[in-house]
Amino acid sequence: MSDELNARLRAIVGAANVLDGETDMAPFLSDWRGRYHGRARAVVRPRDTAEVAAVVAACAQAGVAMVPQGGNTGLCGGATPLADGAAVVISLARLDRVRALDPDNDTLTVEAGCTLAAVQEAAQAAGRLFPLSLASEGSCLIGGNLSTNAGGVQVLRYGNTRDLVLGLEAVLPDGRVWDGLRALRKDNTGYDLKQLFIGAEGTLGIVTAAVLKLFPAIRTRATAWVAVADPRAAVRLLGLLRAACGDRVSAFEIVGRTALGLVLRHIPGARDPLAGAPAWTVLVELSDPAVDAPLEAQLEAVLGEAVAQGLASDAVVAASVAQARALWALREDISEAQRIEGVSIKHDVSVPVSRIPEFLERAGAALAARWPDIRVVAFGHIGDGNLHYNLSKAVADDNATFIARTAEVNGIVHDLVCELGGSISAEHGLGQLKREEVLRYKPALEMELMRRVKQAFDPAGLMNPGKVL
C-alpha cells in the first residue's frame, strides 16, 4: 500500500521530488529550533497547484494523512509531522512564483512557496510596501504566514496577515482546487471562506496562492527610544501618539530592563541608548509615504508632552538611518540574546492593550511569590496588546529545575491571561504545542464549532492531524 502510494506520488511530481530516505527527509521532520521531531512516510515536493491537487487526491484516496509545510520556521510545531510516521509531508517550497502584480489595484498575487522577503521585494520593486515583517522573513514562506495568520512588528499599523489578504487559492482535503483568488476590496456574495483557511495551520486544506494587498512605499520615518515611568505610562504614551499622529504610529514595542540587559550582555556592539538603566523602555516608530512628512517634529512634540505629563523621563530620537537601525537592533536581538543566555519558558500572549499594565503587575507578583528569584523577560508589541513573556532563573542549575515546572508556570500565566480576556497564543498559533492547553481556556462551545468546521471541510481528518484540534 505504501509502495503503491509512493509510486503514484512519483508519477505526479517526478521521482526526484518524492523523498523517502531518512537523510533526505530529515530537514522536513523537525522544526528549525529542533524542538519537535516527527516521522513521515514520504516528503513530496510539488511544483504547482495542479501537482499539489494531484498529490492530495492521491493521499486522500489512499486514506493517508498530509502535513503541509512551508519554511518550517513556526514556533508551535504546526508543520512538523507526528511521531507515528503515518503522514506524507507536502512541501510548498517549489511553488515560488509571483503570478501577477497589479499596481493600479495595489495587489500582488503570489504562490505559497515565496519567501516573505521575496514578497516584500516584489512589492518594493513596484514602488509599494507589503508590510508583513518578522524575524524569519528571509526563510519563512508566505503560505506559512497565511496559514498561521502571522503577526510581526507592523500589526499596529497594518494588521495581521489576515488583514493583508484579498483572495486565496486552496487545495481542499479531497484534492479539488478552490479558486478564491479574487482581487476585490469589496465582495459580499456569501460566506468569506478564505477567512477559514487563514490561521487554520493547514488543517482545512492547503493554501497554494494568495492575492495580497499592497500599500504606498514609506519614504519618511522617525524612530525613538523612550524611557517610560511604567507600563501604564507606556499605554498612555501610545494614546497620545495615536491621537496626534494616527496611523503614522507604525510600531510601538515595549522592552523591559531584563530583556535589554540580555542584549547588552550578549550582542556585540549593543549600546544602551539611555542613561540610568530605566526599568521600562519603548521603541516608537512613525512612518509616512510623504517625502517631507514632519515626523521628527511630531514625535518630539508628543514626547515633550509625555515628559510634561510625567509619562516619560528620557528619550532619544534617531538622528540618522544608522541610529534608527541600531535602536531596532536592540529590539530584534532580544530573541538571539535569550538563546545565548539559555532556556526559558516562553509565552506569546495578548490581552486588551488597557490590561497590559495589570497583566505585568499581577503575573510578576504571582510568579515572584512562588519563585522569588525568577527572571522575567518581558517585551513585545504592546500596541497590539501582545507580549512575549519569557521566564527563567539566572543560575543554570536552578533553571533546569524551574523549566521542569513549565506546566505550573503556564498555568499561572495563562490563567491570568484568560481572566483578563486575553489569548494564550497571540501570533504563533496552536500547532502541537498549545493544542491541549487551549482546551483549558477556550469555551467548549467554541471548540465544538471549530470541530464542526473541521468536519465540514475535512470529514476524513487527513489534513495535518494532531494540530490545532
Q: 178-237: which residues touch a copy of itself (CB under 8 A)? A: 178-180, 182-193, 195-196, 198-200, 204, 215-217, 235-236
Q: Are strands 66-69 and 88-91 parallel, antiparallel or unpaired?
A: parallel
Least distance (Å) between residue 205 CB and a copy of itself = 10
**Cβ contacts of 172 within 8 Å, gap of 6 or more:** 56, 178, 205, 457
Give the total of residues touching a copy of itself (CB under 8 A): 92
Contact 228, 234 (CB under 8 A): yes
Residue 227 near residue 296 (C-beta atoms within 8 A): no
Q: Residues 103, 304, 310, 411: which binds a copy of itself (CB under 8 A)?
A: 103
| Number of neighbours of residue 131 by Cβ within 10 angstroms | 23
Region from 35-43, 151-159, 326-334, 370-378 binding a copy of itself, contact rule CB under 8 A: 151-159
Q: Are 284 and 249 in contact (CB under 8 A)?
A: yes
Euclidean distance between CA atoms 446 and 344, whole angstroms: 31
- 263-292: which residues touch a copy of itself (CB under 8 A)? 288-290
Distance CA 272, CA 326 (A): 10
CB of 387 to a copy of itself, least distance (A): 10
Q: Which is nearer to a copy of itself, 17 or 136 (CB)?
A: 136
Q: Of residues 246-265, which lie at the interface with a copy of itself (CB under 8 A)?
A: 246-247
Q: How far apart are CA 461 and CA 469, in angstroms?
A: 10
Map residue 3 onto helix, strand or coil.
helix
The H or E element that residue 72 is part of is none
User: Cα separation of 89 and 464, whole Å?
Assistant: 9
Shortest distance, CB of residue 414 to a copy of itself, whole angstroms?
Answer: 11
Q: Is the dihedral of CA 144, 149, 153, 157 positive or negative?
A: positive
Applying CB under 8 A, the span of 49-57, 101-109, 118-126, 317-325 interacting with a copy of itself comes to: 101-109
Q: How far is the CB of 101 from a copy of itself (least distance, A)?
A: 10
Q: Which of 237, 434, 463, 465 binds a copy of itself (CB under 8 A)?
A: 434
Report the distance separating Cα 400 and Cα 422, nearest Å.
Answer: 29
Task: Find cell 499592497 and name the residue.
Answer: 214
Question: What sections of 116-216 are H helices per DSSP?
Answer: 116-125, 142-148, 155-158, 194-197
Whichever of 341 and 427 has its CB closer to a copy of itself, that residue is: 427
Nearer to a copy of itself, 143 or 180 (CB): 180
CB nearer a copy of itself, residue 416 or residue 430: 430
Q: Choose which of 334, 433, 457, 462 interacts with a copy of itself (CB under 8 A).
A: 457
Helix, strand and coil content of the chain, in percent to the nearest 5, comes to: 40, 20, 35
Question: DSSP labels for 267-336?
Answer: STT---SSSS--SEEEEEEEEESSTT--HHHHHHHHHHHHHHTTSEEEEEE-SSHHHHHHHHHHHHTHHH
Q: Kindly identify the residues of this chain, within the stretch 319-358, that bind a copy of itself according to CB under 8 A.
A: 350-355
Distance CA 380, CA 364 (A): 16
Let me know: does 129 contact 216? Beta carbons within 8 Å.
yes
Sheet architecture: strand order including 386-393:
312-317, 220-228, 280-288, 249-256, 374-380, 386-393, 348-350
Report the residue from 46, 428, 432, 464 that binds a copy of itself according to the rule CB under 8 A: 428
What's the closest the beta carbon of residue 34 comes to a copy of itself, in angstroms? Answer: 22
Residues from 31 through 90 that contact a copy of itself (CB under 8 A): none
Whichever of 125 and 447 has its CB closer to a copy of itself, that residue is 447
Q: Which of residues 435-454 bind a copy of itself (CB under 8 A)?
A: 438, 441-443, 445-447, 449-450, 452-453
Position among 8, 32, 48, 105 found at the interface with a copy of itself (CB under 8 A): 105
Decide: is 6 part of the binding site for a copy of itself (CB under 8 A): no
Stretch that binds a copy of itself, among 112-120, 147-155, 256-264, 267-275 (CB under 8 A): 147-155
Shorter beta-carbon distance to a copy of itself: residue 186 or 276? 186
What residues are paired with 67 via a beta bridge? 89
Beta pairing class for 128-129 and 215-216: antiparallel
Q: Which of residues 154-173 bind a copy of itself (CB under 8 A)?
A: 155-156, 159-160, 162-163, 172
- The nearer residue to a copy of itself, 265 or 452, going by C-beta atoms, is 452
Which C-beta is closer to a copy of itself: that of 51 or that of 288? 288
Please identify, among the stretches 14-22, 111-119, 244-252, 271-279, the one whose residues bind a copy of itself according to the rule CB under 8 A: 244-252
Segment near a copy of itself (CB under 8 A); pick from 54-62, 143-151, 315-323, 336-344:
143-151
Q: Hey, which residues between 352 and 391 contact a copy of itself (CB under 8 A)?
A: 352-355, 381, 384-386
Per-residue b/e over 158-177, b at no fewer than 16 CB within 10 Å? bbbbeebbbbbbbbbbbbeb
- Closer CB to a copy of itself, residue 136 or residue 148? 148
Q: How far is the CB of 217 from a copy of itself (least distance, A)?
A: 7
Measured from the CB atom, the residue of 275 and 308 that comes closer to a copy of itself is 308
